[in-house]
Amino acid sequence: MKMNTIIAAAAALIIAVAGIVAIKTVYEKKSVELKNAAGDLSAESSVLTDETESETFKVRSFNPDPAETENPETVTDGASSTAEKETEKSVFSTIRNIVTASQTVTEKVTSQVKDITEKTTAAKPSATAGRAENKTTTTSSPSKAQTSAAASSGKKADYEYSYAGFNPQYANMDVADWTLILVNRDYILPEDYVPKLAYSVEGDTDSKKLDYRVAPHYNEMYKAAKADGIILDTVSGYRSYSLQKTNFENKIAKYENQGYGRAEATRMAAKIILPPGTSEHNAGLAMDICSLEQSFENTKEFRWLMKNAERFGFILRYPKDKQDITEIIYEPWHWRYVGVENAKKINASGLCLEEYLGVK
């Protein structure tokens, strides 16, 4: 009976060892798959493989004391029972240790494979400067497919202003009609996006720069206005990510100094200056003209723009009656380029850009 017990225990030991080896084999296969999917995580996978090999080596290196492995038939009758008991005790103890080690390795493998998989699938989209420059412009109203492409390309992970409730997704810079790229607090530019720029007024190096595809249209509008005795001074065109961040942080600090908490101050600031990467200025698609005061609406320059800007592809981006939708204060100075046909359709519809694209 004792011998049967020992044999059964030894068999269990062999099965446990085989289990460890099987775990190692499965993990190594998974590590290779993950390494192919995410080369930058290979170091982490290597460390995990080493841990598994270490645990397996401990099992393979088990070598019971010679006294426990000698042939029971050579032991005297008086010592036989005691030797068998000691052997049985040692074998079962070893099995328990192996099983525990197996569970530990399994837990490590499961946990870290899960972590690696999550990191591998968390890749962020990116874009290169002026990627959309060769896209064909369409003059028809955006279809549902265009609307989706215009404003959705994956959530931005670890957003620095998420504490204030901002969780933008990436703007799609490959939208069929680049003039309808949607950039606002909900849709952020890729971190590496920098448009190709040009001066907005030809021959005037003091004029502000815009996306090189937009600048010629502003120049034409500028000349037409000048012919009518109107000077459309360029106050703010393209802004870099760093400048936008500085402006935004300064506005947050202003409200914090007035006694508001950080989150509330951030939300208040975003109604006036958008967070970095979410402003049309960062894309070079908009110009602040003549003033940064709401009283600009009472000027002849504003009246000229309201009557003529669409002929050159520009719209009033943040109308007074759309503040609940744009979530930006009324800005009579901020004019966005969307192309001539789109500008005419948007103005005729009475919609703001978010409504026109069907995202709000």
Query: pLDDT tens across 45-97, in order?
Result: 344 344 434 444 333 333 444 333 333 333 334 444 555 555 555 545 555 55
Q: Judge whether 331 counts as a catalytic residue.
A: yes
Same domain, 186 and 206: yes
Whether residue 243 is contained in a domain is answered as yes
Task: Please check whether residue 218 lies inside any domain of the structure.
Answer: yes
Q: Is the domain of 152 the same as that of 243?
A: yes
Candidate list 55, 310, 331, 354, residue with the active-site label: 331
Q: Is residue 144 part of a domain?
A: yes
Name which of 222, 267, 272 is nearest 247 in CA terms.
272
Q: Is it the case that residue 283 has pLDDT exceeding 90? A: yes
As a whole number, the mean pLDDT across the chain is 75
On whether both 230 and 308 belong to a single domain, the answer is yes
How large is the average pLDDT for residues 141-164?
64
Residue at which a domain ends, from 68, 86, 120 = 120
Tell whether the model's pLDDT for residue 32 goes beyond 80: no
Classify residue 8: in a domain, yes or no: yes
**138 shares a domain with 51:** no
Percentage of residues in the chain having pLDDT higher than 90: 54
Q: According to the model, what pLDDT value does residue 158 have?
A: 82
Cα(12)–Cα(91) distance, rounded to whole angstroms? 10
Task: Note whether 170 and 301 are same-domain residues.
Answer: yes
Same domain? 85 vs 196: no
Summarize the confidence of residues 118-135 as an average pLDDT. Answer: 40
The reply to whether 69 falls in a domain is yes
* 116 domain-assigned: yes
pLDDT greater than 60 at residue 254: yes
CB atoms within 10 A of CB 188: 26
| pLDDT for residue 322 is more than 90 | yes
Tell me the mean pLDDT in the region 132-141.
40
Among 93, 120, 147, identify where a domain stops. 120
pLDDT beyond 90 at 346? yes
Q: How far is CA 4 from CA 8, 9, 76, 81, in A?
A: 6, 8, 19, 14
CATH number for the domain that contains residue 330? 3.30.1380.10
Q: Which domain holds residue 214?
A: 131-356
Q: pLDDT at position 66, please?
A: 37
pLDDT at 282 over 70: yes
E strand intervals along the chain:
169-170, 187-188, 197-199, 209-211, 234-236, 286-289, 314-318, 331-337
Does one domain contain both 105 and 137?
no
- Give the total number of structural domains in the chain: 2
Question: 230 falls in which pLDDT band (50, 70, 90)?
Answer: very high
| Residues forming beta bridges with residue 315, ordered by sequence position | 336
Residue 126 maps to a domain: no
Question: Do 248 and 268 belong to one domain?
Answer: yes
CB atoms within 10 A of CB 137: 14
Are 61 and 149 in a shared domain? no
In a domain, 18, yes or no: yes
Residue 345 has pLDDT above 70, yes or no: yes
Q: How many CB atoms lie within 10 A of CB 340?
A: 17
What pLDDT is recorded for position 63?
A: 42
Structural contact between residues 20 and 59, judged by C-beta atoms closer than 8 angstroms: yes
Q: Which pLDDT band holds residue 360 (cuts at 50, 70, 90)?
A: confident
Taking the C-alpha atoms of residue 95 and residue 8, their distance in angstroms, rounded to an integer, is 11
Please say whether the beta carbons of 162 and 251 come within 8 A. Answer: no
**Could you tell me if 151 and 271 lie in one domain?**
yes
Rg (CA), the chain: 34
Q: Please check whether residues 41 and 140 belong to one and the same domain.
A: no
Residue 209 — φ and ψ, nearest 5°?
A: -90, 155
Structure tokens at 120: 């591998």
The reply to whether 145 and 80 lie within a common domain is no
Weakest mean pLDDT among 94-98, 131-135, 185-189, 308-312: 131-135
Q: How confident is the model at residue 127 (pLDDT cuts 50, 70, 90)?
A: very low
